[in-house]
Chain A
Amino acid sequence: MAEQNFAPMSRRSLFRMIGMAAGSAVMYQAMTDLGYAGESGYTGPTKLSGDVKGASVVVLGAGLAGLTAALELHNAGYKVQVLEYQHKAGGRNISIRGGDTVNELGGFKQQCQFDSGFYVNPGPMRIPYHHIALLDYCKRLNVPLEPFSIINYNAMIHNSKAFGGKAKRYREVETDFRGHISELLAKVTAQGKLDQAVSKEDAEVLLQALRAYGALDRNYEYKKGALVSNHRGYNVDPGGGLSWQPTDSDPMAMSELLQSRLWTGLLTGHEYEYQMTMFQPVGGMDMISAGFVRALPPDMIKYNCKVTEVKQDANGVTVSYVDAQKGGAVQTATANWCVNTIPATILSQVPMQIGAPLKNAINSLSYSAGFKAGVQMKRRWWEDDERIYGGITYTDQPVALISYPSTQFMQTQKGVVLGAYTFGPHAFELTSMSPEERMKVVVDCGAAIHPQYRTEFENGVSVGWHRMPWTLGCFAQWSEANRAKNYDALCAIDGRMVLAGEHASHLGAWQEGAIVSALDAIKRLHQRVVAA
């Protein structure tokens, strides 16, 4: 993020000066050097300048894309109205707290029983450091952030079919994998087998690097001892006085480690999208949408509106809608322009006067299944018993992972863990169950790693995204082939309407995608308005 003492506007002025003096290539380089541009295309707060000529815009959907569009268009002088299906704003930017009702399709109703102060984020839960548009809005909208722990060396990696189903610590897997690979590579290097690929001089440095990197001994062997324990942890940790003697831990054998595939649990946190530092809003992800709503005029969003048809002509758009709960009489909203952020699953079912390219693009998108469950525990046993403070445990079981809270360490008696976060077949299967059946799976999977689940489980709440009435799925899936074929058409302005949302971005499923998609859409729309 931007340095605190370097205000965005002064940056923009600086960039403009550089741009005028030296041309855009140099300006782009300067912006990159200073930390703007390059990341998701965001170049600082949007400024829609020029006369909007009293134009009006109807925004469909009050998720992050719709809220972003509404806020910026309102600030630019447009007359803005937002229609939202739910009784609240945010869309998939959502948190569930005690007392909240989760209504899934099919009449499956859950009343969240969490104690006051606890929540689960059933949609997005973490923000990468390079999602600078979202971080910028958090700053502008006074949404406090805190670190989200993505890697915890003391969390677990578990495969029910390896090591007798006993989970290993991340640090053990990480150190042993590093050590064994380093030893192997050191061996072939020392034997001269890499002579074709590595010069003699480089081979010497490589051996030094492998010894340090892999915690190898003077013979380039990865072996039990103080050096290795200093990386992977001890059998008995060092202490003080006379009555406490540290003992070294036993590395896993290479073959068993490889075959266990526990090393796969090391990878996520190293990918660009999951590298530290990650963030979460203090108090729940929906603090972001709440921040947007605070910044908008109080009556701009009309709730409980189910869009039933979109018509357009040369002058504007007419949106038909009914009360989302009661149905009844058809109402209409008219505007000169429409920013449509309704997910493609739903949009494909709404009659709209649009061209074939856009219609085909909307219809081409499949939405991923996704499943999450939050579980309230009677005590913070992962901290008290196991010294796991935040981070994620991975497992081959249907729940896929357990994410421990990144906040309130040791401050509360109880706590809420994310007990499941899964996609693909397991998500379809868990979605197909009743809430009670799901929670049994969640507890069984958790107990296979942490027996405390059996005694400390108190209550839970789950979301199967295909049963959410307002999304009918988790996020849009773009194959490379379909993106090449349909993405441009999905994002193009069709008459008086433009789509926005994570589905209209290269950052699928991320909140950043929703925001930069909306910013790009309104920029193009605004250009037309000003040019007209």
Chain B
Amino acid sequence: MKSAFVVMGSALLLGLSVSSGAYAQGAGAGGGRGGFTEQGGEAIFKNVCQGCHMPDAKGAVGAGMYPALAKNPKLEVAGYPVSVVVNGQKAMPALGGMFSDQQVADVVNYIRTHFGNNYKDKVTPADVKATRP
């Protein structure tokens, strides 16, 4: 069952298959393209993550909340943010289907070394690949 918000036209304008990828339902078919084109951790953060985690990475609170990424000790073990980005968790949507392994590694590395976080060990695309379902 497709959703009310599927707008097939624009996805197909770029030659994407309606049912392609992990994001086939709803968003993937309607987004105009299937994946994010941003390269580099900073660009990805500013164009994607800050929608919810906010430009200062301090998160936000409404009926539920988006956690702060700034000074967040949960980022210490790199596998955790990689898994959350790829597979989602609660209000965090699973974004693995719209990012390459390299993009996930870049944005996790960026977040873990900015906003008051200073974790030196780097995530690699291979780490990301291993996290995919």
B63 touches A261 (CB 8 A): no
A470 touches B63 (CB 8 A): yes
Q: How far is the CA of A506 from the CA of B25 in the complex (A)?
A: 12
Q: Tell me which residues from 1 to 43 in chain B have a Cβ below 8 Å from any Cβ of chain A.
A: 1-15, 22-37
Q: How far is the CA of A342 from the CA of B4 in the complex (A)?
A: 19
Interface status of A279 (Cβ within 8 A of chain B) = no
Q: Tell me which residues from 473 to 495 in chain A have a Cβ below 8 Å from any Cβ of chain B.
A: 473-475, 477-479
Chain A neighbourhood of B62, CB < 8 A: 85, 105, 346, 468-470, 472
B2 touches A271 (CB 8 A): yes
Q: How many residues of B contact A (CB 8 A)?
A: 55
A268 touches B8 (CB 8 A): yes
> What's the minimum C-beta distance from A369 to chain B, rounded to whole angstroms?
6
Q: How far is the CA of A353 from the CA of B15 in the complex (A)?
A: 47
Which residue in A159, A264, A429 is a CB contact (below 8 Å) of B8? A264
Q: How far is the CA of A425 from the CA of B51 in the complex (A)?
A: 11
A348 touches B3 (CB 8 A): no
Interface status of B79 (Cβ within 8 A of chain A) = no
Q: How far is the CA of A17 from the CA of B3 in the complex (A)?
A: 37
Chain A neighbourhood of B90, CB < 8 A: 345, 348-349, 363
Q: How far is the CA of A390 from the CA of B49 in the complex (A)?
A: 35
Interface status of B50 (Cβ within 8 A of chain A) = yes
> What's the minimum C-beta distance from A176 to chain B, rounded to whole angstroms?
16
Most buried by B among A367, A425, A464: A425
Q: Given A366-B93, A432-B48, does the pair A472, B64 have CB atoms closer than 8 Å? A: yes
Q: Given A264-B13, A345-B91, does the pair A424, B98 have CB atoms closer than 8 Å? A: yes
A424 touches B5 (CB 8 A): no
B88 touches A366 (CB 8 A): yes
Q: How far is the CA of A478 from the CA of B54 in the complex (A)?
A: 27
Q: How far is the CA of A466 from the CA of B60 in the complex (A)?
A: 11
Q: How many residues of A contact B (CB 8 A)?
A: 68
Interface status of A231 (Cβ within 8 A of chain B) = no
> What's the minimum C-beta distance from B104 to chain A, rounded to whole angstroms?
14
B31 touches A426 (CB 8 A): yes
Which residue in A85, A261, A421 is a CB contact (below 8 Å) of B12? A261
Chain B neighbourhood of A157, CB < 8 A: 9
Which residue in B9, B12, B22, B63 is a CB contact (below 8 Å) of A469? B63
A367 touches B93 (CB 8 A): yes
> What's the minimum C-beta distance from A333 to chain B, rounded to whole angstroms?
16
Interface status of B47 (Cβ within 8 A of chain A) = yes
Interface status of A36 (Cβ within 8 A of chain B) = no
Q: Tell me which residues from 420 to 458 in chain A have a Cβ below 8 Å from any Cβ of chain B.
A: 421-429, 431-432
B23 touches A424 (CB 8 A): yes
Interface status of B70 (Cβ within 8 A of chain A) = no
> What's the minimum C-beta distance from B15 to chain A, rounded to whole angstroms?
6
B3 touches A475 (CB 8 A): yes
Mask for A251-288, Cβ within 8 A of B = 1, else 0? 00000000001101111100101000000000000000
Interface status of B123 (Cβ within 8 A of chain A) = no
A395 touches B63 (CB 8 A): no
Interface status of B115 (Cβ within 8 A of chain A) = no
B9 touches A423 (CB 8 A): no
Q: Given A396-B14, A432-B46, does the pair A105, B66 have CB atoms closer than 8 Å? A: yes
Q: Given A368-B26, A478-B25, does the pair A265, B60 have CB atoms closer than 8 Å? A: no
B26 touches A508 (CB 8 A): yes
Which residue in B28, B51, B92 is a CB contact (below 8 Å) of A467? B51
Q: How far is the CA of A271 from the CA of B23 in the complex (A)?
A: 20
Interface status of B55 (Cβ within 8 A of chain A) = yes
> What's the minimum C-beta distance from A126 to chain B, rounded to whole angstroms?
8
Interface status of A324 (Cβ within 8 A of chain B) = yes
Interface status of B65 (Cβ within 8 A of chain A) = yes
Chain A neighbourhood of B11, CB < 8 A: 264, 424
Which residue on B lies nearest to A428, using beta carbons? B48
A432 touches B50 (CB 8 A): yes
A346 touches B28 (CB 8 A): no
A423 touches B51 (CB 8 A): no
Q: How far is the CA of A348 from the CA of B93 in the complex (A)?
A: 12
- Provide a sorted-by-A list of 19 A–B residue pairs whose CB atoms are within 8 angstroms: A105-B66, A159-B13, A262-B13, A264-B9, A267-B12, A271-B2, A346-B63, A349-B64, A395-B13, A400-B7, A400-B10, A400-B30, A423-B5, A423-B7, A423-B27, A429-B48, A466-B51, A466-B52, A468-B62
Task: Add 13 more A-B contacts to A368-B27, A400-B7, A467-B60 (CB < 8 A).
Answer: A85-B63, A105-B54, A264-B12, A267-B9, A268-B7, A346-B62, A348-B64, A349-B64, A394-B9, A396-B10, A468-B62, A471-B63, A472-B62
Enumerate chain B interface residues (CB-CB to A < 8 A).
1-15, 22-37, 46-52, 54-55, 60-66, 88-94, 98
What 7 pairs across the A-B complex have the smallest Cβ distances? Answer: A424-B31, A469-B62, A264-B12, A423-B30, A346-B64, A394-B9, A105-B60
